[in-house]
Structure 1
Amino acid sequence: MHQKLIFFIFCFVMMCFTNLKAQSSKADLKLWYDKPSGKVWENAMPVGNGRLGAMVYGNVESENIQLNEHTLWSGSPNRNDNPLALDSLNRICQLIFDSKQKDAERLINKVIVSKKSHGQMFEPVGSIKLDFLGHENYTNYYRDLNLQNALATTTYNVGDVTYKREVIASFPDRVIAIHLTASKSNSLSFTALYTTPQPKVKHKASNNGELILSGTTINHEGVEGKVKFESIAKIIPKGGSLTNTDSTISVKNADEVTIYISVATNFNSYNDISGNEIDRANSYLRKAVTEKFSDVLSANIAAYQKFFNRVKLDLGESKFANVPTDQRLKNFNSVNDPSFAALYYQYGRYLLISSSQPGGQPANLQGIWNNSLRPAWDSKYTININTEMNYWPAEKTNLAEMHEPLLKMVQELSVTGQKTAKDMYGARGWMAHHNTDIWRITGAVDGAFWGAWSNGGGWLSQHLWEHYLYSGDKEYLKSVYPVLKGAAMFYADYLITHPKYKWSVMSPDTSPENAPAAHQGSSIDVGTTMTNQIVFDVFSNAIQAASILNRDKAFADTLKQKRSNLAPMQIGKHSQLQEWLDDVDNPKDNHRHISHLYGLFPSNQISPYRTPELYSAAKNTLLQRGDVSTGWSMGWKVNWWAKMLDGDHAYKLIQNQLTPVGTNEGGGGTYNNLFDAHAPFQIDGNFGCTSGITEMLMQSSDGDLNLLPALPDLWLAKGNISGLRARGGFELINMEWKDGKVIKAEIKSTLGGNLRLRLPNKMKLINNKLLKIASGNNPNLFYQTEEVKAPIISDKAIITPLNLKETFVYDVTTNKDKIYTLILNQ
Structure 2
Amino acid sequence: MQSAFKILIVFSVMITTTSYSQSKNLKLWYDAPAANWNEALPIGNGRLGAMVFGNPVNENIQLNELTLWAGGPHRNDNPDAKDALKDVQSLLFQEKYDEAHRLANDKFLSKTSHGMPYETVGNLRLNFKNQDNYTNYYRELNIENAVNKTTYTANGVDYSREIFTSFTDNVIVIKLTANKKKSISFTASMDRPEPAKVEHFTENNNVLVMTGFGSNNKNKRLPKETEAIKGEVEFDSRIKIVTKGGRVEAKNNTLEVSKANSVLIYLSIATNFINYQDVSGDAHKKASDYIAFAEKKSYENLLESHTNFYQEYFNRVSLNLGTSEAAKLPTDVRIKEFKDGFDPELAALYFQYGRYLLISSSQPGGQPANLQGLWNKDLTPPWKSAYTVNINTEMNYWPAEVTNLTEMHEPLIEMVKDLSVAGQETAKVMYGAEGWVTHHNTDLWRICGPVDGATWGMWPTGGTWLTQHAWEKFMFNGDLEYLKSVYPAMKGASQFCLSVLTPEPTNGWLIVTPSISPEHGPKGRSKGVNIEAGTTMDNQLVFDMLTKTILAAQLLNVDAGLIKEMEAALAKLPPMQVGKYNQLQEWLKDLDDPEDKHRHVSHLYGLYPSNQISPYRNPELFKAAENTLIQRGDPSTGWSMNWKINLWARLLDGNHAYKLMGDQIKLVGRPGSPKGGGTYANMLDAHPPFQIDGNFGFTSGLTEMLVQSHNGAVHLIPALPDVWKDGKVTGLRARGGFEVSELVWENGKVVKAVIKSTLGGKLRIRSYNELQLERSNLLVEATGVNTNSFYQVPKIKNPLLTNATNIEQIALKPSYLYDVDTKKGEEITLIQK
TM-score by length of 1: 0.95
**Structure 1 residues 518-597: aligned runs within 5 Å:** 518-521=524-527, 522-597=529-604
Question: Partners in 1 of 2:43 and 2:776 — Cα distance?
Answer: 48
**Structure 1 residues 729-748: aligned runs within 5 Å:** 729-748=737-756
Partner of 1:329, secondary structure, is: helix
Question: Partners in 2 of 1:499 and 1:537 — Cα distance?
Answer: 24
Question: Partners in 1 of 2:176 and 2:215 — Cα distance?
Answer: 34
State the structure with bigger RCO (CA 8 A, min sep 6), 1 or 2. Answer: 2
1:633 deviation in Å?
Answer: 0.3
Conserved? CA contact 2:665–2:678, under 8 Å: yes
Question: Partners in 1 of 2:624 and 2:20 — Cα distance?
Answer: 45
Question: Partners in 2 of 1:63 and 1:350 — Cα distance?
Answer: 24
**Structure 1 residues 110-189: aligned runs within 5 Å:** 110-189=106-185
Could you tell me which residue of structure 1 aligns to residue 84 of structure 2?
88
1:729 deviation in Å?
Answer: 0.9
**Structure 1 residues 285-296: aligned runs within 5 Å:** 285-296=291-302
Question: Partners in 1 of 2:520 and 2:674 — Cα distance?
Answer: 20
Conserved? CA contact 1:190–1:251, under 8 Å: yes
Conserved? CA contact 2:776–2:827, under 8 Å: no
Deviations 1:524-576 (A, max 9, x none): 01000000000000000110001111111111111011011000001000000
Could you tell me which residue of structure 1 aligns to residue 23 of structure 2?
25
Could you tell me which residue of structure 1 aligns to residue 736 of structure 2?
728
User: How many positions carry a matched residue from both structures?
Assistant: 795
Could you tell me which residue of structure 2 aligns to residue 772 of structure 1?
none
Could you tell me which residue of structure 1 aligns to residue 631 of structure 2?
624
Conserved? CA contact 1:605–1:786, under 8 Å: no
1:127 deviation in Å?
Answer: 0.9
Conserved? CA contact 1:206–1:246, under 8 Å: no
Unaligned runs of 5+ in 2: 1-17, 219-227, 778-786
The AA in structure 2 aligned to 1:152 is: N
Question: Partners in 2 of 1:450 and 1:814 — Cα distance?
Answer: 47
Deviations 1:441-494 (A, max 9, x none): 000000001110111100000000001110000001011111101000001011
Partner of 1:783, secondary structure, is: coil
Partner of 2:791, secondary structure, is: helix
Partner of 2:762, secondary structure, is: strand
The AA in structure 1 aligned to 2:207 is: E
Question: Partners in 1 of 2:286 and 2:741 — Cα distance?
Answer: 41
Could you tell me which residue of structure 2 aligns to residue 755 of structure 1?
763
Matched, 1:601 2:608: yes
Question: Partners in 1 of 2:446 and 2:496 — Cα distance?
Answer: 18
Conserved? CA contact 2:708–2:718, under 8 Å: yes
Conserved? CA contact 1:518–1:584, under 8 Å: no
Alignment identity in percent? 54
1:786 deviation in Å?
Answer: 4.1
Matched, 1:204 2:201: yes
1:141 deviation in Å?
Answer: 0.2
Conserved? CA contact 2:595–2:632, under 8 Å: yes
Could you tell me which residue of structure 1 aligns to residue 683 of structure 2?
674
Conserved? CA contact 2:20–2:727, under 8 Å: no
1:798 deviation in Å?
Answer: 2.6
**Structure 1 residues 680-699: aligned runs within 5 Å:** 680-699=689-708
Conserved? CA contact 2:611–2:792, under 8 Å: no
Partner of 2:467, secondary structure, is: helix
Question: Partners in 2 of 1:604 and 1:788 — Cα distance?
Answer: 12
Candidates 457, 467, 470, aligned match of 2:463: 457
Could you tell me which residue of structure 1 aligns to residue 240 of structure 2?
234
Moved more, 197-206 or 279-288: 197-206
Partner of 1:537, secondary structure, is: helix
Question: Partners in 1 of 2:794 and 2:421 — Cα distance?
Answer: 30
Question: Partners in 1 of 2:77 and 2:776 — Cα distance?
Answer: 64
Conserved? CA contact 1:122–1:378, under 8 Å: yes
Could you tell me which residue of structure 1 aligns to residue 13 of structure 2?
none
Question: Partners in 2 of 1:206 and 1:789 — Cα distance?
Answer: 66
The AA in structure 2 aligned to 1:539 is: L
Question: Partners in 1 of 2:148 and 2:775 — Cα distance?
Answer: 47
Conserved? CA contact 1:205–1:246, under 8 Å: no
Question: Partners in 2 of 1:600 and 1:443 — Cα distance?
Answer: 28
Matched, 1:37 2:66: no
Deviations 1:101-148 (A, max 9, x none): 111001101000111110101101111111011111000000000010
Conserved? CA contact 1:723–1:734, under 8 Å: yes
The AA in structure 1 aligned to 2:430 is: M
The AA in structure 2 aligned to 1:195 is: D
The AA in structure 2 aligned to 1:600 is: L
**Structure 1 residues 326-475: aligned runs within 5 Å:** 326-475=332-481
Question: Partners in 2 of 1:317 and 1:216 — Cα distance?
Answer: 49
1:517 deviation in Å?
Answer: 2.2
Question: Partners in 2 of 1:149 and 1:789 — Cα distance?
Answer: 47
Could you tell me which residue of structure 2 aligns to residue 799 of structure 1?
807
Moved more, 392-401 or 497-506: 497-506
1:768 deviation in Å?
Answer: 11
Question: Partners in 2 of 1:793 and 1:308 — Cα distance?
Answer: 46
Partner of 2:490, secondary structure, is: helix
Conserved? CA contact 1:200–1:217, under 8 Å: no
Question: Partners in 2 of 1:242 and 1:509 — Cα distance?
Answer: 61
The AA in structure 2 aligned to 1:738 is: E
* 1:518–1:664 Cα change, 3 Å: farther
Candidates 206, 213, 217, aligned match of 1:220: 217
Conserved? CA contact 1:495–1:505, under 8 Å: yes
Question: Partners in 1 of 2:460 and 2:825 — Cα distance?
Answer: 42
Matched, 1:247 2:247: no
Deviations 1:343-395 (A, max 9, x none): 00000000000000000100000000000111000000000000000000000
Deviations 1:744-776 (A, max 9, x none): 01110000000000011111111499xxxxxxx
**Structure 1 residues 293-308: aligned runs within 5 Å:** 293-308=299-314
| Bigger helix fraction | 1
Deviations 1:376-435 (A, max 9, x none): 000000000000000000001000000000000000000000000011001100010000
Unaligned runs of 5+ in 1: 1-17, 770-777
> Aligned Cα RMSD in Å?
1.6
Conserved? CA contact 2:163–2:175, under 8 Å: yes
Conserved? CA contact 1:599–1:606, under 8 Å: yes
Could you tell me which residue of structure 1 aligns to residue 10 of structure 2?
none
* 1:141–1:578 Cα change, 3 Å: same
Question: Partners in 2 of 1:788 and 1:751 — Cα distance?
Answer: 26
Partner of 2:288, secondary structure, is: helix
Question: Partners in 1 of 2:820 and 2:118 — Cα distance?
Answer: 49
Question: Partners in 1 of 2:466 and 2:20 — Cα distance?
Answer: 43
Could you tell me which residue of structure 2 aligns to residue 54 of structure 1?
50
Moved more, 257-266 or 245-254: 245-254
Conserved? CA contact 1:736–1:744, under 8 Å: yes
Conserved? CA contact 1:418–1:429, under 8 Å: yes
Question: Partners in 1 of 2:791 and 2:499 — Cα distance?
Answer: 28
Could you tell me which residue of structure 2 aligns to residue 814 of structure 1?
822
Could you tell me which residue of structure 2 aligns to residue 6 of structure 1?
none
Conserved? CA contact 1:75–1:217, under 8 Å: yes
1:785 deviation in Å?
Answer: 3.3
1:21 deviation in Å?
Answer: 9.8
The AA in structure 2 aligned to 1:650 is: A
The AA in structure 2 aligned to 1:550 is: N
Matched, 1:100 2:96: yes
Conserved? CA contact 2:736–2:788, under 8 Å: no
